[in-house]
Chain A
Amino acid sequence: MAGTAPIFDEMTLADGAVRPAYETLARWLKTIPTDLLATRSREAEALFRRIGITFAVYGDAASTERLIPFDVIPRILTNDEWGRLSKGLTQRVKAINAFLNDVYSKREILRAGLVPEDLVYRNPAFRPEMNQQPVPHGIYVMIAGIDIVRVDADTFYVLEDNARTPSGVSYMLENREVMIRLFPELFSQHRVAPVENYTDDLLATMKSVAPRSASSDPTCVLLTPGLFNSAYYEHTFLADKLGVELVEGRDLFVKADIVYMRTTEGPKRVDVIYRRLDDDFLDPLAFRPDSALGVPGIMSAYHAGNVTLANAVGTGVSDDKAVYSYMPEIVKFYLGEEPILKNVPTHRCREPDELKYVLENLADLVVKEVHGSGGYGMLIGPKATKAEIETFRDKLIKDPAGFIAQPTLALSTCPTLVDEGVAPRHVDLRPYVLTGRDKVRIVPGGLTRVALKEGSLVVNSSQGGGTKDTWVLDS
């Protein structure tokens, strides 16, 4: 039950004792005056504007992107905690890839009756066009962002899998750069595992999944919907760090099932495309015919095995909230292992008994739309008014399969700089998992998101969340 479970603070235990990983930081926080922290915080903001985000925030109507608040107090994980997490993440993404391979080919898991057929076939993110179409090296999700929450010293839950185009990694990288510039003294007192090799890892991953027909030094590009996209800044940032061209759909064309980019030296073959463009818009010949952002014929080149799309088309069927509830079964089915990372206990409203339970306990549960994202379209029972609960009850009865419900979790908190000083705020964590042909790469840590409002559990940046640097201490 919400409110009754004690909230786990990652720095300070209920009895006031400081957890070992945070000892140095806690001492430092005691010595540093709050107004100095506030000054550093303003400096951080100025740095963020300078190093790039600036050009997307200024006032023209097209670029409404804001600066996401950055909290200067780092979040710390021990090497042990991270070791467990990264094993669990590797396992989970492996299972997701196996699941996608299966639902687009033999469909054994559907035949086995472990996942209901209609959950896949009638899922908007399922792409019938990918059926029986092999993808290079059988890898669907090269870049995954897995959202993790923590409820106590030992328990991490997976809150959500992001297997389409997870964003935010530029914040992970820039948060670290800014921290190193602002607080060099903290880095000399801690041995923080580096994250800056992420873009090298990403490039290695992309090259490893190049199609067999590509040259030994495959050409990789990043495909963006263009400068009006809210994540355009991240696209330019990544392309720059990867040293690859940032292309728009109109820079590419397909001839005889090969993808080329238009360059000043003539057409140049493209082998691997890290695309930040949704499936729907990729190819007007295969999907939305009115898309002007995509590349006509790219799906034909893709099916012919002449280009790799990262991530593959149709991966969204694996990160759906309804499919999510089957992840423990999915892990067991494909890997024959117990899941290392737990799911948040989830009630599938499509099942009559579960629906009944959910309807009886709406005031205590979080109810989410199966296809919703960004923290919208959900009911947080304990925080909702009676009227809100009743509206949601009607929605649920009308379309039970459209919803899942979960208990409200007591998300862990971390010390955070707020107007009143340093105070605990709820956090989550999004590590980025890179899957190549050769191996899985995960840089230690990830993006910590923090709900800046007191008591709030919503960490989404679209709803007032901020970010923190995440440290994995090398023991």
Chain B
Amino acid sequence: MRIRIAHETLYTYAVPANAVIQTLRLTPRNFSGQHVANWRLDVDQDCRLDAHEDAFGNITHTFSASGPIQSMTIRVDGLIETSDTAGVVRGAIERFPPGLYLRETDLTKADAEIRAYAEARRAKAGNGTLSILHALLDDLPAGMAYDKDPTHASTTATEAFALKSGVCQDFAHIFIAAARHLGIPARYVGGYFLHADGTIDQEAGHAWAEAYVEDLGWVGFDPANAICPAEQHIRIACGLDYLNAAPVRGSRHGGDGEFLTVKVRVDQAARQVQVQ
């Protein structure tokens, strides 16, 4: 499937900012289920985008712009060809052995509630890593409401699980916390999602999880949609939690009254271009 992405982040400041510095994780890499046909990243400021590869193998761009900055736009345009690998992620850049992804982080700590939940799923699913993971995947959305109001970027798995609601990021964190508690390496993935119902305009990117299954390798699980990624997921960055894979991490000097507008369009590219 060919998927076109347009992602625009617009910052406006009531008081112009003196300086802005940001690290962007907005550039995908290829793996067996994904080929980057075309990708452009633009910042409308007079600055250099310094590209690095981070510790997890994600491509980062860091830029610093000097003020006065009234407004600033970060734009991503791209075309990705995806294929269905039944959720299995092969050929991705792996910088760590799976064991690292058992590491606990502040956002993915499992409290007694999450631990009990995870253990109950395991008891139901019986042995076999894959069936445990599927039990988590199938069950999580049932107990959780999808609601973007109560949580925010720094909400932990524990907090979201107690609220019984959250967004894709929270679902992913809970899934990861539960899997790690059961001794299954799990990680956070940020990217985009093509809705099956034809919705094109979205308010944000998407997030899901990957877990490590002996013999299969890394397998994607999208607990917010209760599916394993097939052709509709565009994988951008991964890490231990949201903070390692966040599309934008920034800081500014001055610039009070920041206002943020995000427009994401994920659309299937015109069929006539598709190579059959």
Contacts and interface: CB of A to CB of B under 8 A. Distances in A.
Instruction: Check A-B contact in the complex, CB < 8 A.
Output: yes
Contacts of A107: 97
A323 interface: no
Given A121-B102, A289-B243, A129 B55 contact: yes
Contacts of A117: 97, 99
Interface string B47-58: 110101011100
Interface stretch (B2-10, B15-23, B74-82, B196-204): B15-23
Interface stretch (A39-47, A66-74, A248-256, A325-333): A248-256
B100 interface: yes
Contacts of A132: 55, 95
Contacts of B22: 285
A122 B251 contact: no
A185 interface: no
Contacts of B96: 121, 128, 131
B55 A285 contact: no
A231 interface: no
Interface stretch (A220-228, A236-244, A296-304): A296-304
Interface string A252-284: 011111000000000000000000000000001
Given A121-B102, A285-B249, A297-B64, A254 B54 contact: no
A257 B62 CA distance: 8
A24 interface: no
Interface residues of B, number: 32
Interface in B230-276: 239-240, 243-244, 249-251, 253
A303 B243 contact: no
A254 B103 contact: no
A296 B251 contact: yes
B131 interface: no
Contacts of A286: 23, 249
Interface in A123-169: 126, 128-133
A257 B56 CA distance: 20
Interface string A356-395: 0000000000000000000000000000000000000000
A118 interface: yes
B104 interface: yes
Contacts of A297: 21, 23, 62, 64, 251
A284 B249 CA distance: 8
Contact of A129 (B54, B64, B253): B54
A128 B21 contact: no
Given A131-B55, A131-B95, A131-B96, A253 B103 contact: no
B55 A128 contact: yes
A286 B104 CA distance: 17
B248 to A, nearest CB: 10
Contacts of B251: 284-285, 296-297
A304 B244 CA distance: 18
A432 to B, nearest CB: 30
B220 to A, nearest CB: 20
Nearest to A300: B62
Nearest to B62: A300
Contacts of A130: 55
A133 B60 CA distance: 14
B100 A128 contact: yes
A126 B96 CA distance: 13
A136 to B, nearest CB: 16
Contacts of B70: none
A304 B102 CA distance: 29
Contacts of B32: none
Nearest to B18: A253
B249 A304 contact: no
A128 B62 contact: no
Contacts of A129: 54-55, 244
Contacts of A304: 50, 52
B23 A285 contact: yes
Interface in B91-137: 95-97, 99-100, 102-104
Contacts of A121: 96-97, 99-100, 102-103
Nearest to B55: A131
Contacts of B47: 256
Nearest to A130: B55
* Chain A CB within 10 Å, residue with most, of B19, B47, B62, B99: B62
B75 to A, nearest CB: 20
Contacts of B239: 128
Contacts of A256: 47-48, 50, 64
Nearest to B250: A285
Contacts of A128: 55-56, 96, 100, 103, 239-240, 244
Nearest to B248: A285
B19 A300 contact: no
Contacts of B66: 255
A118 B64 CA distance: 37
Interface in B200-240: 239-240
Given A285-B23, A297-B21, A122 B104 contact: yes
Interface in A276-327: 284-286, 289-290, 296-297, 300, 303-304
A128 B21 CA distance: 22
Nearest to A290: B154
Contacts of B253: 253
B103 A255 contact: no
Contact of B21 (A118, A290, A296): A296
B50 A257 contact: yes
B154 A289 contact: yes
B102 to A, nearest CB: 6
B52 A303 contact: yes
A13 B176 CA distance: 60
Contacts of B60: 300
B26 to A, nearest CB: 14
Interface in A70-129: 107, 117-118, 121-122, 126, 128-129
Nearest to A291: B251
Contacts of A254: 21, 64
Interface string B17-49: 001011100000000000000000000000110
A319 B244 CA distance: 25
Interface of A: 107, 117-118, 121-122, 126, 128-133, 253-257, 284-286, 289-290, 296-297, 300, 303-304
User: Shortest 6 CB-CB distances between A and B: which pairs?
Assistant: A296-B251, A131-B55, A300-B62, A121-B100, A297-B21, A255-B64
19 contacts: A107-B97, A117-B97, A121-B97, A121-B99, A121-B102, A128-B100, A128-B244, A253-B19, A253-B21, A254-B21, A255-B21, A255-B66, A256-B48, A284-B249, A285-B251, A289-B249, A296-B21, A297-B62, A297-B251
Given A117-B97, A133-B55, 6 more contacts: A129-B54, A129-B55, A131-B56, A254-B64, A297-B23, A300-B60
